[in-house]
Structure 1
Amino acid sequence: MNNKIHFISGMPRSGSTLLSAILRQNPRFHAGMTSPVGAFVNSLLDQVSAGSEFGPVVTTAQRQRLLRGLFASYYADKPEGSVVFDTNRVWSARLPAVRDLFPDAKVIACVRNVAWVMDSIERLYRANPYENTRLFNDAIERNTVYSRVETLSQRNRLVGFAWTAIKEAFYSEQAGALLVVDYDLLANAPDKVLPLVYQFIGEPWFEGHDFRNLAFDAPEFDSALGVAGLHKVRPEVSLKPRRTVLPPDLFAQYTNMNFWQDGANSRASVITARPADASTDAQAPPQAKQDNNA
């Protein structure tokens, strides 16, 4: 692959689409919503791993070439010298392969208080009352807010998988390539967060970012899921205070799961907000073994 590649991962409703909308204002950068490359990687590995028909005849070196070829083919239309950001929640769980295939690549994981993630998804569900969204498999899962949130939190479902995948990456030996970005700070202070992102990936700052003039929407994709507005980004970056739509007990159950706020046992870099003061300015650029609180 002739272009640089980095990865955007993280939890749903936590700013990955917002971050992509900001990054793509830089003409050298190419970023968007979830790409199919992560699914291609999983499918290919299924075909050549132990237990498959072709596993015994495909060497590790061939697997590496096949996977690099997927990226090269998918992004072959990008101009030489571009920086590509591929978005998929699976990359947090594939950090060893990412680092082996692309040693200079970084993974940016967008996170958010899990209770507010659940709140955001529940709001979208209620905004589409005449649609049986594909987020749930049957009437039992979608019956009430309690069954919906419980389903989403399972470790093989939308929120539970993303949360556990980031946690795995956060405490892994490859965590030095991981940058965790808290949604609240990104939405409150993009002018402070984005320079830190640029520094982490080793790119010169682009002066043309306009945080009041963003454009991103994917109505066809969201319609296919039965969740209108899932990837729509407002023109101006902001964090609008609101009351939760979750019952108090349910909100409390998921509100203290922010493991990224304690980086004592992780080499990951973190751009987050102190729980006691979410308005404090961002500090030094991210470094391994250092939380960059704001």
Structure 2
Amino acid sequence: MVHRLHLISGLPRSGSTLLCALLRQNPRFRVAMTSPVASLCGVLHQKMCGGEFSVFFDDPKRAAMLRGVFDAYYPHVEPEHVIFDTNRTWTARSALLRELYPQSRLVCCVRDIGWIIDSIEKMLAQNPLQLSRMFNFQPGGSVYSRVDMLMNSENGLIGLPWSTLREAWFGDEAKRLIIIPYEHLVKEPERTLRKLYDELGEPWFAHDLNNVIYDEPDYDALLGMPGLHKVREKVEYRERKPCIPPDLFAKYAGSSFWAKPELNTRGVKIL
């Protein structure tokens, strides 16, 4: 049974895989770069609220069934173990998570939109013989047409989590958010991790920042993006020039709402 749960969410290409790779060094933590639990909960929730069988469910039963998804996916969890379930859609379910696991926190990795787009384009350039599931395996097109798909607020790889993160940021559950900017994690990993441990009320564990190992080759191959979730062994910040046109950077230059103190009206914790 899952006793202690936190969620990792936020924006893509913003350090969540690196964060998972670091946290999983702690033997008390169970964490991976993504899981299907959010999707499973979504399908089950829909079935319990709509259709011919919805009359057989009340709120306590719905809550028990949804907790059962976590318990089934994470069996044999000791009471002292902490589950970190990762999915970018958790920010759209913050109120539901409050009902299911009131003590849980939403750890959200963020990064400037321009650099997220640039990171995706860099991965595409590194795999020219592959076609990506991100773009429905369609060949051709331009960076501008791909960005339009990425930024779609209903189903875009960036646009959807960016929209749901804004919703959580300005909503009643904002106090449960923990924001980790990408630059903070890669430039000051130990300081960032120590602050995260403090926020979660967990005893400190000394992480090996020079021997970080994580890779998901089968999952990345399915996406048509080999190496997408492969983590470099040493945590460090690397300067590089962007590969996307400067007008795209300019277009999304003001989208980092977490970097504007005047917009942090709910006092969200930023590490």
TM-score norm. by structure 2 comes to: 0.95
**Contact 1:108/1:179 (<8 A) preserved:** yes
SS in 2 for 1:135: helix
Query: Do the aligned partners of residues 118 and 2 (structure 1) sit closer, same or farther apart at CA in structure 2, a change above 3 Å counting?
Result: closer
Q: Distance in 1 between matches of 2:6 and 2:83?
A: 6
> Cα distance 1:65–1:14, how it changes in 2: closer, same or farther (>3 A)?
same
Matched to 1:82, the amino acid is H
Partner of 1:202: 201
Matched, 1:49 2:49: yes
Matched positions, count: 268
- 2:89 is paired with a residue whose SS is helix
Alignment match, 2:234: 236
Deviation of 1:125 (Å): 1.1
**Structure 1: which 5+ residue stretches go unaligned?**
272-294
Listed as ranges, the matches of 1:25-64 within 5 Å are 25-50=25-50, 52-64=51-63
Give the match for residue 274 of structure 1. Answer: none
Asked if the contact 1:2/1:81 (under 8 Å) is kept, the reply is no
Where do 5+ consecutive residues of structure 2 fail to align? none
Aligned equivalents of 2:96, 2:64: Cα separation in 1:
12
Q: Which has the higher contact order (CA 8 A, sep 6+)?
A: 2
Percent sequence identity over aligned pairs: 41
Amino acid at match of 1:65: A
Indicate if the aligned counterparts of 2:117 and 2:147 stay in contact, CA closer than 8 A: yes
CA offsets per residue over residues 21-48 of structure 1, 9 Å max, x none? 1111111011111101011011101211
CA RMSD of aligned residues (A): 1.3
Residues 138 and 210 of structure 1: CA distance in aligned 2, closer, same or farther (over 3 Å): closer
| Cα displacement (A) at 1:99 | 1.0
Separation in 2, partners of 1:252, 1:269: 27
Letter aligned with residue 56 of structure 1 = V
User: Equivalents in 1 of 2:163, 2:266: separation in Å?
Assistant: 15
- The separation in 2 between residues aligned to 1:224 and 1:122, in whole angstroms, is 18
* Match in the other structure for 1:151: 149
The corresponding residue for 1:84 is: 83
Within 1, Cα distance between the matches of 2:238 and 2:111? 14
1:104 is aligned with what amino acid?
Q
| Contact 2:2 2:74 (8 Å CA) reproduced | no
Identify the match of residue 251 of structure 1 among 239, 249, 252.
249
Tell me by how many angstroms 1:138 deviates: 5.8
1:219-241 CA deviation, whole Å, 9 max, x = no partner? Answer: 00000010111111101111111
